[in-house]
Structure formats: structure tokens, C-alpha cells
Structure 1
Amino acid sequence: MPASTQITTAVITFGPIALPAPDRGQDLHIRVSAPATGHDLPVILMAHGFAKSLRDYAPLVDFWTANGFAVIQPTFLDSATLGLAPTDPRTPDIWKHRVADMKRILDHLDQIEDTVPQFKGRLDRARIAAVGHSYGGQTVGMLLGARVIGADGTVGEDMSDPRIKAGVLLSTTGLGGEFLTPFAAEHFSFMTPSFTEMTTPTLVFAGDKDDSPLSTRGPDWFTDVYKLSPGATALVTLFGGEHLLGGITGYGVTDTTDESPARVAAVQELSTAYLRSALYDKDTAWPEATRAFADSPDLQGLIEQK
């Protein structure tokens, strides 16, 4: 059904849950949120942006859970809450650890359900989606099939996960090489993606005012994944949207430079509708939501579809 703007559903949130990760150097902490009632709940894995944590993105998590999803949020090694030193030997490979963390969550769904009896037997293992913002978008892109191009120009290993059936990428970085600033090229070698192999159904969000200091291009850099990926079936370009798309990382957060409840609502409603239609055959939430979005008297952006 189309997403409702009213958040009235009772939700259970539990965390942190520690998942063993010996190859990571420390346990992976996650938080799980889900409606208090209902069964066969579709699952969203939420990958946070640089320095964020499992505590962030409440406006999205609250909306998704109110509309019937269970949401699992990890804290990655780059989180400011962990204080990992730049000289830590894990730092250059954090992008790989992020992908491994997301897969680790799926590997430990039984443990997660055993830890929280209220979730026992209620997660739909056949309907799993992943959503990522910024650095988290790069993480999720890898799980959906994107790859990293090596220094020698060869396309890197396939790190996708077939358990993830659909994705949403929010403010996700585009092509590397000549389009990276010198700083980005030096410090973020993984920002040289190949999107050709990304075939999982995906919705892309970009802000038309998102002018990244990591790229020599303008806001259209964030549309590369839509243009170049066969799996990215829709692009939402939000008018006036900057990197936080109106404030998706939290309520009243101070780092939002384009605060807009209407823009956040567009992300909430369209992401929910897309995932419902991607995960459930014959579900009409996405076409209904796109029509409502286009017909709104307060138009927040444009939707392109392949």
C-alpha cells in the first residue's frame, strides 16, 4: 500500500546487539527496530554515512518501521563513536569491512532473533533490502553488484549478496578517476566504481544542489549510478537538495545545510513505496507514489525511470 505520512505504529527498538567479528578486531554493534505486531516483516539494512552510527537516520527508520519494515542498523569502523585512529591498519580497508559487516548481519539473523524474543520468527528472510547514504551508498552499491576499479584499470571482485533483493542509494558518489579531487584520489582509492555489473533493482536519490568537495563535477556526479547501472530503474532528483537531502540523518541535527521537512518526506515516502513494490509482486505502491509525487502542488523534484 502507499506509504502513510502519519507515524502511529508502535515500534520495538533493541540495541546494541554485539555480533562476533574476530577478523574485524572488535564486535559489530547493531540496532534493530520493528513494528510491535505483525509477521513476515520485510527487512531493511541501513548503511550509515561517514562517521555516523546506529543511532542516526531516525526520520527514515521511524517511517519505514511505521510502514511495516524491520530495520537493522550497524555501526561501521569509521563511526566517530569508535574513534578509530587514521593510523589504524584497518583504516585503508574500512570500505571492505563495511561490506563484510552488512553480510555478517545476514549471516547472524538467527542470533539476532534469539537475542530479542519479540522479533523471533517475524523476519521475512526472502524479502531483504539495503539502503545506504553517502559512504553507505558506496557500501550498499557493492552489495547490489557495483565493483571497484583497481589502479591497473581492472574491475575488482564481485562483493554482491544475492540475499539482498532491492536497494535504495541516497547521495551516492559517482565515477572516479579524472572526476575526483586530488584529496579524494589520494585518500579514497575505492571511489573508482564500475556500475556496469550492478543489476539488482535500485532507486537512486540525488540533490540538485549537492556540490561535493570530493568531485571536480557538480551535482550530476551523484546521478552516475542511475545512468550507468542496469539495475538502477529510477532516479529522484530533489530540488534544492544538498548532501543530507533535507535532514535525513536525524531530527534537528546541526549538520543539515538544506533543512526541509518536505524533502525528507519525499525520501521517506518514495523509498518506502519503491521497496514495497520491488519486494512484493503486483504491489502498486511505487506507481501510486510516483503519480502522487508528480501531481503535488508543492513539487519537490523530478522522477526519471528506465
Structure 2
Amino acid sequence: MTMRGWRLLLAGALLISLSACQAAQAAVPGALGRPSGVAPVTPYPVGIRTLDLARGEDRPLPTTVWYPADARDATAPPRDNARPAAGRFPIVLFSHGLASTPRLFAALLTRWASAGFVVAAPAYPYTNADAADFQRWDVRNQPGDAEFVIQDLIRRDTLAGDPFRGRLDVAHIAAAGHSAGGFTTAGLFTTGHDPRLRAGIVIAGGGLPGTFAGPDASLLFVHGGADPIVAPYVAQAAYERVPWPKAFVTLAGQGHGEYLTPGRPGFSEANNTMTDFLRWTLYGDTSARTRLPVDATLAGVSSMSGKI
């Protein structure tokens, strides 16, 4: 065979191999071959992993991570250290409120992981429920903690031997949080914030000084209409300062967060709205964007203003 013939044969073999690889990826929910702008449709089983992180000796940040798991190595409820599913998945950093813990939000965060997101939730050193030295005002330091955790996950995507290597879509990141965690979330969106941080969900929270500046991002506020802890006007004032695409979901007559519990009034509306907000902002799924006003609207229960 001539040299030209060998080259043609080799080129053909490479094309066949590449096509087979792409076809195999496309057959797996969440795989690298998923068409752009399409979020996963089939729910994933969920794995759970704990990262022993610290931002200095005095700021331990044990972080619970819920993530889409390989169906061959996962069960219900979520299995510890199950193999991650094939593909790359956007990151969501979740921040708890005062005297709370990440696992108190497991029912919500497991649903987000099942929908195709890697959800990392640090226990903040001086405001979590088990803190030996509880310091309410340490919330002002938590945006730095949250950014530290995000950067650690970004590092793991290329870290040899780490289970998350090659499984994280580090170009598409969101932050979410409840109560003081909502203020923490807002505190991430300041001048010079990482442009990969594309979206935020402030639940029963508000803004911090200097927030809502820097690269464009989309913001969703979720708030109880009768919240006695963080009054609705606090969230509304923060919302008005956001210069980017934004929306505000009000849970009629609700308090500080009961709507985050499965089975309680407003849970389906809040969860569906937040999940589709993440699908739109992190996957670019236009069908999820279209669903947002429908997700958020139930007469006497919930309503949405603004536009993402």
C-alpha cells in the first residue's frame, strides 16, 4: 500500500473511533456529548462525599458534597463515596444559615444533585449548629470561605486520583444559601468576582455592603411573605440593587423557610423554580427558562416577579 493509502486508512480509523466515542457519550445522561443547552432529563442516583477542608488553622470547613452518581455504584438513599456519573456537571455552592448545618438541607440538595449538579455545602466554623465558639457576626467572613471551597472544587477537576477529576463543569458555577447563607451568597457577587460564578439564589436573605457588582450574573430571590426573621423588605431592597437579570419568588403567608421542607406548602413551587433556574443559568436550557413563571406560580401559595 502506498504512503497515501496508509494515511487515508489511518484517518478513516480515527474518524470511526471518534464517532463511536461521541455516540457512547451521548447515550449516557449528563455525558460530555450532551447537546449544548440541554439539561439532564433522567434523574441521577446521588452520591455523598465529605471533604475535610480548612481556610487556615482557625477556619475549618468540613464540606458535604452531593453529586450525580454512577447507577452501577449507587443506591437510595445517597451512598457514601459512590462513583460519580459520567460527564461534567455544574457546581452549586450552598451556604447554611445561623445555628444550622448542611445536612439539614439534605432533602433539597439531594434533589439538585439528582437533577445534574454537584452541590457542595460547607459547615461554617463559627455559625454552624455545632460551633464551640458561636459568633453571629462571622457571617461577614463567610463569602471568603465559600470562594475557598469553590476554588478547591475547581482544583479537584484536574487533580490526579481525585474522584471528581474530569467530572466538574468548572466554567458554570452557582451559589445559593438560606438566611445568613443567603447574605453569604450575596457577598460572593462583588467587584472582581470569578466570572465563572454565573448565578445566585438568595433564600430568606438579603445583601451585604458592596454586593451585586462585577461580572454579570443572574439572581433569584426566594422569600416567605410573612418571614419574621428576615423581613421581606430586606430581601426586596437587595433585589432592587441587582443590576442583572433577576426574579423574586414570594411564598404567600410563609415564614423563614418551612417551604424548604418536602410536603410543606410551597416546597414544590420553590424547589421546581430553583432547579429550573439552575438548569437555565448553568446548562443554558431554554425550556427550563420558559417553565420558570409556571413553576413559581400557584394561586394562594406562590408568585414571581421580574424576569431572568
Q: Same fold (TM over 0.5)?
A: yes
Shift of 1:269: 0.7
Shift of 1:13: 0.2
Tell me what 1:231 maps to: 244
State which structure, 1 or 2, has the greater radius of gyration over its C-alpha atoms: 2
Match of 1:97 among 141, 147, 156: 141
Task: Describe the SS at the equivalent of 2:239.
Answer: helix
- Whether contact under 8 Å (2:182, 2:203) holds in the other structure is yes
- Whether contact under 8 Å (1:210, 1:243) holds in the other structure is yes
Q: For 2:304 and 2:154, locate their aligned partners in 1 and report how far apart those are by CA, in whole Å.
A: 38
Q: For 2:65 and 2:212, locate their aligned partners in 1 and report how far apart those are by CA, in whole Å.
A: 32
Tell me what 1:139 maps to: 184
Identity %: 25
**CA 1:116–1:53: 2 relative to 1, 3 Å:** farther
**CA 1:51–1:276: 2 relative to 1, 3 Å:** same
2:74 is the counterpart of 1:74? no
Gaps of 5+ in 1: 146-157, 175-190, 252-259
- Whether contact under 8 Å (1:131, 1:140) holds in the other structure is yes
Paired amino acid for 2:52: A
TM-score, normalised with respect to structure 2: 0.72
Mapping for residues 91-240 of structure 1, pairs under 5 Å: 92=137, 94-109=138-153, 112=156, 117-145=162-190, 158=191, 160-173=193-206, 193=209, 197=213, 199-212=216-229, 218-231=231-244, 233-240=246-253
Shift of 1:139: 0.8
Shift of 1:207: 0.9
Match of 1:269 among 263, 267, 272: 272
Tell me what 1:184 maps to: none
Structure number with greater CO (CA < 8 Å, separation at least 6) is 1
**CA 1:261–1:115: 2 relative to 1, 3 Å:** farther
TM-score, normalised with respect to structure 1: 0.72
Deviations 1:252-298, CA, capped at 9 Å, x for gaps? xxxxxxxx53412222110110111112335320222323543x5x5
Q: For 1:105 and 1:96, locate their aligned partners in 2 and report how far apart those are by CA, in whole Å.
A: 16
Shift of 1:242: 0.8
Task: Describe the SS at the equivalent of 1:81.
Answer: coil
Q: For 2:131 and 2:103, locate their aligned partners in 1 and report how far apart those are by CA, in whole Å.
A: 13
- Whether contact under 8 Å (2:39, 2:285) holds in the other structure is no
Tell me what 1:45 maps to: 93
2:303 is the counterpart of 1:302? yes
Q: Which has the higher helix share?
A: 2
Q: For 2:266 and 2:221, locate their aligned partners in 1 and report how far apart those are by CA, in whole Å.
A: 15
Deviations 1:25-51, CA, capped at 9 Å, x for gaps? 143211111111231101100011112
- Whether contact under 8 Å (1:204, 1:225) holds in the other structure is no
Paired amino acid for 1:84: D
Q: For 1:116 and 1:50, locate their aligned partners in 2 and report how far apart those are by CA, in whole Å.
A: 35
Q: For 2:99 and 2:175, locate their aligned partners in 1 and report how far apart those are by CA, in whole Å.
A: 19
Paired amino acid for 1:82: A
**CA 1:108–1:247: 2 relative to 1, 3 Å:** closer
Tell me what 1:153 maps to: none
**CA 1:129–1:209: 2 relative to 1, 3 Å:** same
Q: For 1:171 and 1:116, locate their aligned partners in 2 and report how far apart those are by CA, in whole Å.
A: 39
- Whether contact under 8 Å (1:209, 1:219) holds in the other structure is yes
Q: For 2:260 and 2:151, locate their aligned partners in 1 and report how far apart those are by CA, in whole Å.
A: 32
Q: For 2:61 and 2:104, locate their aligned partners in 1 and report how far apart those are by CA, in whole Å.
A: 16
Q: CA RMSD in A?
A: 2.8
Number of equivalenced pairs: 252
- Whether contact under 8 Å (2:189, 2:211) holds in the other structure is no
Paired amino acid for 2:169: D
